[in-house]
Amino acid sequence: MSSNAALRAIVLDIEGTTTPIAFVYETLFPYARAHVRTFLDSRRDDAAVSAVIEHLRADQTSDTGAPASVAEYVEWAMDRDRKSTALKELQGLIWADGYARGELNGEVFPDVVPALSRWRDCGLDVAIFSSGSVLAQQLLFGHSNAGDLTPLVRWHFDTTTGPKTSAESYARIAAAIGIAPRDALFISDAVPELDAASAAGMQTRLADRPGNREVPSSTPYTRIRTFDEVRVDRMTSP
């Protein structure tokens, strides 16, 4: 992209943007599904898990066709890739155990670390906005195949901020960061998310990574294949 003196922050999606889609669908999701029953049985008395279960029960009552038991409902919701905040919180807790045991290791594309460092050196702050919980985000970046990347990410936002397809969510993110939406660049592989960010006033780029879903050539968004294509000048303090 051409340099933009107003740019103050970069907001990144994870799946298909910083991280291969295959890692999410072939490693993280199967791990959570394989361990959910054991996790619920062994950790049911934990306060954090109990709170998530209560939220899941609330989702369950409003989800048409949902199974009766919580464990069955969680598996059912996982199979349908539900974006439930409670489900994402539970997945994050399960993954936390997996990372702690060394059974999981986060994956990022090779250009991610150089880009995060480059943007930091230019005075830009980086935020993550993902449907995965803040905990899940921090685990992935904290235990990545490139080391602990958490010092390079200043903010984490999940669906407690709002749906990723709602312009209001991106306005809230900009407000939380303390900037105008036009001073943020949002990068994602999902056109509906870019539509929402654009409607909020953010700058946008479409992540066109290996393994991503095909996006029609008619899309109005500028494609980038690596973060090396996001060029910015060194920022001065506001």
Q: In the predicted model, is pLDDT for residue 196 greater than 90?
A: yes
Please tell me the distance from the alpha carbon of residue 20 to that of residue 222, in angstroms, as a whole number. Answer: 20
The whole-model pTM stands at: 0.91
**pLDDT average, residue stretch 29-55:** 94
Residue 40 confidence (pLDDT): 94
State how far the alpha carbon of 216 is from the alpha carbons of 166, 171, 175, in Å: 22, 27, 32
Q: In the predicted model, is pLDDT for residue 238 greater than 70?
A: no
pLDDT tens per residue, range 82-138: 889 999 999 999 999 999 999 999 999 999 999 999 999 999 999 999 999 999 999
Q: In the chain, what are the domains? A: 9-19+106-229 (3.40.50.1000), 24-100 (1.10.720)
What is the residue-wise DSSP string for 121-174?
Answer: HTT-EEEEE-SS-HHHHHHHHHTBTTB--GGG--EEE-TTS--TT-HHHHHHHH
Q: What tokens appear for 190 in the block?
A: 């999902």
Residue 1 confidence (pLDDT): 41
Q: In the predicted model, is pLDDT for residue 144 greater than 70?
A: yes
Residue 3 confidence (pLDDT): 43
Q: What tokens appear for 40 in the block?
A: 């619920």
Q: In the predicted model, is pLDDT for residue 74 greater than 80?
A: yes
Q: Tell me the one-letter amino acid at 142.
A: G
Residue 233 confidence (pLDDT): 62
Residue 16: name the closest of 217, 229, 214, 238 by CA.
Answer: 214
Asked if residue 57 lies in contact with residue 70, where contact means CB atoms within 8 angstroms, the answer is yes
